[in-house]
Structure 1
């Protein structure tokens, strides 16, 4: 069951006003088929809590959703019925900017819709004028084209000094257990680069950038909390510089560069996430990655194969997410809520929702009495407090309902 909610909950008297009703009417609600395509499970498959949690993270990763959650609603004949709930945000973003610097005006007009007709696709129109150039741009992007996780992005721009043509077709490792990936991207960018000194142009030259990359990847999936991914591809990257016919000053043209090289890449990802509610944003679920990631890419560009010179192409990265004891427990700021607390506030962003969130945190961080399983709220480990407050959280969730739902009764800290 998919419940694709609009921007405002008109069943809530605080949201049932003319302005909010108009916003709901003008907004194209996200289609159920778009939501269904992003789920990592299908009807009839074996129940998996991990796939449900990861599907929630994928849905919440879309900019056109305010929040998303998946909850079991019934159990019968050995089957579990799930309700997938999403809540939209306003996605039409018009913009205008004006600035003045160094005696020159800069202006810009932009129209952007990041959920065109509820399809999840993004359309952007932009026209800008600044000291360097005047540019008109059209960009169309769909991260879930062809009914799946294939991303398509097309960027087309004309400017007073050149052009931009950019195309990407990519099927990434969209989930931890994704077994293959592949993609193709290309870019043709021409513009005039100006070098400035104290408000005066001291050099100009033509800059043309051509880039093409084709790659494929393979993974054996998630094993013991870790994902190992292997990729290989071919990259063509060329920069050419030419003098500008209208420039009469001294010109120092950079040296042309061309690299054509195959490469291999290894990536490592740890399955470790935390989910908080009311952490940085009011009445919103937020996902934090606290695991370890690492990747290394090695390629070789050889002059005999067309590169401007032979070179070793090396890219590497290592990262690890962390969390403080204050963020993990929420006992000092009363803002964060460990995963599993299962408390909720009203879907309206009101003072009563904030009050409910604070009461929820007091419940979630309370020390379990002697004889109950769990840990004290003073534990410094985010994982420890998550399990430590789960017994108390069940008592709260039975009264308040799932995150995003309208509370059935006003929560009180003393009730926990």
Structure 2
């Protein structure tokens, strides 16, 4: 098989690989850098087209300089894509410096001093530099999502490096002067066959690398999801325990617990003894206190809510409700609900029955009044002395002494 036929085969293979990779790029999940690989394959296919153009009908800058540079551009784009795929920053200055030097040498050995052997050496040497760089990146800059495909690709680049280096040595020191690339020595055909084979394997390794990274990301996403589920379960367990503790605390309260809005409308009610309520909960939930309680008691609650709205809390408001057994006294403790989930202007009211305390206070007041009356009308002098010796009270009988 002659060189021209091999180049045509290489062109067909390059087109097939490029189209396949482009379809993957457009229709599948790919990572940054994959597009550079597709562009590099396209450069290789375009280079094959330019190599097949009749050189007696087209200028050397097209069939020689541009065609050879596209082969170098393929390596540059592969390296750039691999660096970006690995999350690294490519160095543009090296690409520019290498491209300018390469094109300058090709122009000189195409126009100034035409020499096919020199062009082969230049192409091989520059390709060796970029392929070694690419192999180094693949073998040393391995992220967590690496697999076996990058090592396979590095091995392919090293094989091509050895082949290109041998090709450069032979063309530079042992081969006779060449005049036509398409009728070159037999080793050239072997080199083209090697390029075709490695191009296929490199494309496969690039697809596998993308799939391995996708698999790694899916694994990480699954682990993150599982950890999030475990975290949510722990939070739910903690919330259930906190809710159980809160419910136990509320159930242990002997007092009436209400959630009301600023207008005094009862939104929620809890009591350990529903029999102590003046009305069943179904009859006062959603209604303002002005419709439930006497005006005096409702006024005390509304005034307390106003203070709680300003200060955030209220303590000590008292009111009484009539009952067959006598007035029932209550004391208020109010706190404004805070937090992002709390409704605007809602309050928690703790209503404590202080009837026994009020009765005790009244009985104490009556008892003190009786004793004072006795002391003030007694014929003897009565006084009280504090522990520190201070006289705190002397009865009026002292005036008769």
Instruction: Identify the TM-score tier after normalising by the shorter chain.
Output: under 0.3
TM-score by length of 2: 0.21
Which has a greater percent of helix? 2
TM-score by length of 1: 0.20
Which has a greater percent of strand? 1
